[in-house]
Amino acid sequence: MGFYRLSNITKDLTEHHLDWTSCSEANTIRTILTHLNQELHVYLPRMLIGKTPEDWPEDYTGNPSYSLEKIMKDLTEGKTKLYEMLDDTTDEALEKEVDLFMGKRPLQFYVTLMISEIIHHEGQIAAILGVERRMNPTGPQN
């Protein structure tokens, strides 16, 4: 599955793409984890249950004032919430077409795309930690 994803993503690459960075949302582990929380707490509920939490901060993603403990707690709660929402979603609802950012597709297309974000960003975090460990071999081992 990983190589399928990789070949899909690299099939239209050009030389120009190699050194071009677009992913301003994903450069630190803080931005990656808060971005994932935003997806779990806001984007997925919007898709699956048609509403988002009223008390979710507008400036959540990348917010520098959040502790690691808070971010991890939000991640755990987001995961629980996702499982609950998926349990409550019928196959019929998943097959229904919705018109979102990539046009008319069955709901399950968008849900799968969102869930693949977890794997995608996990890979980015692993890469960042790997680089950090190599540059700082005597630092805290993660």
**Binding residues for Ni ion (CB under 5 A):** 117
Instruction: Compare residues 93 and 114 and give the one whose CB is closer to Ni ion.
Output: 114
CB 47 within 8 A of CB 99: no
Residue sitting closest to Ni ion (CB): 117
102 or 135, CB closer to Ni ion? 102
Q: For residues 117 and 132, which CB has a smaller minimum distance to Ni ion in the complex?
A: 117
The nearest distance, CB 26 to Ni ion, in angstroms, is 6
What is the spatial distance between Cα 108 and Cα 133, in angstroms, rounded to a whole number?
38
- In the complex with Ni ion, which residue's Cβ is closer, 42 or 93? 42
Task: For 63, list phi and psi in degrees, rounded to 5.
Answer: -55, 120
Extended strands (E) in 65-130: 97-100, 103-106
C-beta neighbour count of 101 within 10 angstroms? 8
CB of 114 to Ni ion, least distance (A): 9
From the CB of 132, what's the least distance to Ni ion, in Å?
A: 20
What is the residue-wise DSSP string for 89-134?
--HHHHHSEEEETTEEEEHHHHHHHHHHHHHHHHHHHHHHHHHHHH
Closest contact distance (angstroms) between CB of 129 and Ni ion is 18
Pick 85 or 114: Cβ nearer Ni ion: 114
Q: Shortest distance, CB of residue 61 to Ni ion, whole angstroms?
A: 10
